[in-house]
Amino acid sequence: MSKKTKIDPRIKRTNKYLRNALVELLKEKDVTSITIQEITEKAELTRGTFYLHYHDKQDFLMQSMNEVLEELIEKVKPRQNDEYSSELEEKDESVSFLKLFEFIYDHADYFKVMLSDRGLPQFRSHMTEIVKRRVYGELISSIGEAEDVLDIPKDILISYITSAHIGVICSWLESDMKFSPAFMADKLTRLTLLGPIRVAGLENKIKLPY
């Protein structure tokens, strides 16, 4: 098993200062109009320090985005188990969702601006694709490798779950996170495992078209 290369703490601090500076600037203006000079001044670092780590602004934006999303994935990625029980699955799912919402909560300023019109246009699609492939894709594949194990095509199931969850996250951020991470994790777990119609108690009130 390959070991991850440890990043020098000083580099991590520098990256964090620059990323925080970007977030503050994005609260005021569009990403396309922000300059490297503004980022370094806000971070109280020199342009020379910036160019030690990044080639240009686009390189900085992409690396920063990938670093945050990679950290998110590592926090919420489900553990691999050889045996599954409904109780274990529900417990692990809830824990993963709690970690998800706690991470978003702890980095709320970043996700708010990056998922807004002022952030990177490709951030949401990139986040969706990474979560789809690295979290739900691997989770569903670990439960059943064969396509015929599932009642619907795997790609449709993964796309549905991922899009729904990203939508819930965006709505939660837009509401200034009026519910706690624990509350959101519990509700998202129930919605995922039981389905929205059943969780809302609408089984007998909605007539399905088939």
CA distance 168 to 22: 25
58-62, 80-84, 156-160, 187-191 — which is least confidently predicted?
80-84
User: Measuring CA to CA, which residue among 67, 61, 68 is closest to residue 31?
Assistant: 61
C-alpha 25/C-alpha 37 separation (Å) is 12
Fold for domain 7-54? Arc Repressor Mutant, subunit A (1.10.10)
Q: What are 63's two structure tokens?
A: 């690396």
**Cβ atoms of 22 and 34 closer than 8 Å:** yes
User: What would you report as the CA-atom Rg of the chain, rounded to the nearest whole angstrom?
Assistant: 20
Provide the CATH number for the domain formed by 59-199 in this structure: 1.10.357
User: What are the residue ranges spanned by the domains of the chain?
Assistant: 7-54, 59-199
Read off the pLDDT of residues 3-57 as tens digits, 9 standing for 90 and up: 455 567 777 889 999 999 999 999 999 888 999 999 999 999 999 999 999 999 9
Look up the pTM and report it.
0.78
Instruction: Tell me what pLDDT residue 210 has.
Output: 53
Helices 123-131 and 154-174: crossing angle in degrees, nearest 10, is 130
DSSP single-letter state for residue 201: T
Tens digits of per-residue pLDDT, 144-159?
Answer: 554 555 677 878 888 8
d(C-alpha 149, C-alpha 139), whole Å: 14
Percent of the chain clearing pLDDT 90 (strictly above): 38
Spell out a b/e string for 57-73, using b for 16 or more CB atoms within 10 Å of the CB, else e: beebbebbbeebbeebb
The total number of residues shown for the chain amounts to 210
Q: Which residue has the higher pLDDT, 157 or 109?
A: 109
CA distance 76 to 114: 20
Contacts of 83 (CB under 8 A, 6+ apart): none
Helix, strand, coil share of the chain (percent; to 5): 70, 0, 30
